[in-house]
Structure 1
Amino acid sequence: MTAQTTPPRISQTSQTPQRDLPRKRLLRAKDLWDAYGSSELTGGFLEVDDIGRRLSAMVDAGQLLRVQRGVYIEPSIWLQTAPWERHLIVAAAVNLQSPSTRFCRTTALAMHGFGLLRPPEAVTVRTARNDAVGLHPGTALTGRASASAIQRLLQAHPEAHPEAHDGGAPSPAALRALGTRRHQYPRAFRDQLREGLGQEWDKPYQDALVRQRFPIPESAPAALVAGMWTWLEPIGLVLADTVPRMSFAEAVAVLDAYRAGRFGAQAEPGGVLSAVEPWLSLVASARGRERWKVAWEFSEAGAESVGESWARVRIAELGFTAPELQRRFLLPHGVTCRTDFYWEDPGIVGEFDGLQKYRASMTLSGLHPAQAVIAEKEREDGLRSLGVRVVRFTWADLQDSTRLQRLLSNAGVPRSARSTGAHVFYRDNRRAGRPRRAR
Structure 2
Amino acid sequence: MTTTLTTLAVPQPKLLLTGRGATTHDVSRAIRRQCESGALIRLGRGAYLAASEWAALDDRARLIARMRAVQARHSTPIVFCRDSAAAVLDYPAYGYFGAVPQAISRRPRQSTPELRWHRGSLDDDEIVEGDGFFITSPERTLWDIACAAPLARAVGMLDAGIRTLRPKDAAVSAPRVSREQLLERVSTRSGKRGAVRAARSIGFARDGADSLGESLSRVQEYLFGFEEPDLQVSVSDADGEIGVADQCWRDHRVLGEFDGYEKYTRNRYAHGTAPSEIVFREKVREDRMRATGGGMARWLWADAHDGTRLAAILTRAGLPREPRPRESWRGMPH
- Normalised by the length of structure 1, the TM-score is 0.63
Counterpart position of 1:28: 17
Aligned to 2:5: none
CA contact under 8 A between 2:43 and 2:69: conserved in structure 1? yes
Q: Is 1:273 equivalent to 2:180 in the alignment?
A: yes
Look up the match of 1:162. none
Whole-angstrom CA distance in 2 between matches of 1:104 and 1:269: 17
Report the residue type matching 1:181 in the other structure: R
Corresponding residue to 2:103 among 113, 125, 132: 125
Measured in 1, the distance between the counterparts of 2:332 and 2:235 equals 36
Amino acid at match of 1:295: S
- Which one-letter code corresponds to 1:26 in the other structure? L
Instruction: Indicate if the aligned counterparts of 2:83 and 2:97 stay in contact, CA closer than 8 A.
Output: yes
1:87 aligns with 2:54: no
Q: How does 1:48-197 map to 2 (within 5 A)?
A: 48-98=24-74, 100-121=77-98, 122-128=100-106, 130-133=108-111, 136-137=112-113, 179-185=114-120, 189=121
Matched, 1:374 2:280: yes
**Among 315, 318, 326, the residue aligned to 1:418:** 326
1:323-345 CA-to-partner distances (Å, cap 9, x unmatched) read: 11101123666554111111223
Residue 318 of structure 1 deviates from its aligned partner by: 0.5
- Aligned: 1:249 with 2:156: no
Contact 2:146 2:202 in 1 (8 A): no
2:205 pairs with 1:299: yes
The aligned residue for residue 319 of structure 1 is 225
Deviation at 1:268, TM superposition (A): 5.0
Give the structure 1 partner of residue 297 of structure 2.
391
Is residue 215 of structure 2 the alignment partner of residue 237 of structure 1?
no
Aligned length: 314
Match of 2:128 in 1: 210
Where structure 2 has 5 or more consecutive residues not aligned to the other structure, the ranges are: 1-11
For residues 67 and 56 of structure 1, the distance between their equivalents in structure 2, rounded to whole angstroms, comes to: 13
Cα-Cα RMSD? 3.3
DSSP 3-state at the match of 2:19: helix
1:219-276 CA-partner distances (Å, limit 9, x unpaired): xxxxxxxxxx111112232233331111111222222222215899446555232367
Percent identical: 28
- What residue is the counterpart of 1:330 in the other structure? 236
Aligned residue type for 2:87: A
| SS of the residue 2:115 aligns to | strand
What is the SS of the residue equivalent to 1:285?
coil
Structure whose CA Rg is larger: 1
Question: Contact between 2:200 and 2:332, CA under 8 Å: does it hold in 1?
Answer: no
- Confirm or deny: 8 A CA contact 1:236 1:279 kept in the other structure: no
Distance 1:275 1:321, change over 3 A: closer
Deviation at 1:127, TM superposition (A): 3.6
Residues 271-292 of structure 1, C-alpha deviations (whole Å, 9 max, x = no match): 2323674697567536x22222
Letter in 1 for 2:108: N
Distance between the aligned counterparts of 2:48 and 2:180, measured in 1? 41
Shift in alpha-carbon separation, 1:128–1:275, aligned structure 2, 3 A: closer
Query: Which residue in 2 is equivalent to 1:289?
Result: 195
Is the 1:208–1:234 contact (alpha carbons within 8 Å) kept by the matching residues of 2?
A: yes
- Code of the aligned partner of 1:308: E
Residues 362 and 184 of structure 1: is their aligned pair in 2 closer, same or farther, counting only changes over 3 Å? closer
Q: Give the equivalent residue in structure 2 for 1:11.
A: none
2:129 and 2:61 mapped to 1: Cα distance? 21
Q: Secondary structure at the match of 1:66?
A: strand
The aligned counterpart of 1:259 is 162
Alpha-carbon distance in 2 for matches of 1:24, 1:245: 29
How far apart are residue 309 of structure 1 and its match? 0.8
Query: Which range moved further: 274-283 or 244-253?
Result: 274-283
Displacement of 1:408 in angstroms is 1.4
Q: What displacement does 1:363 show?
A: 6.1
Contact 1:319–1:415 (8 Å) recurs in 2: yes
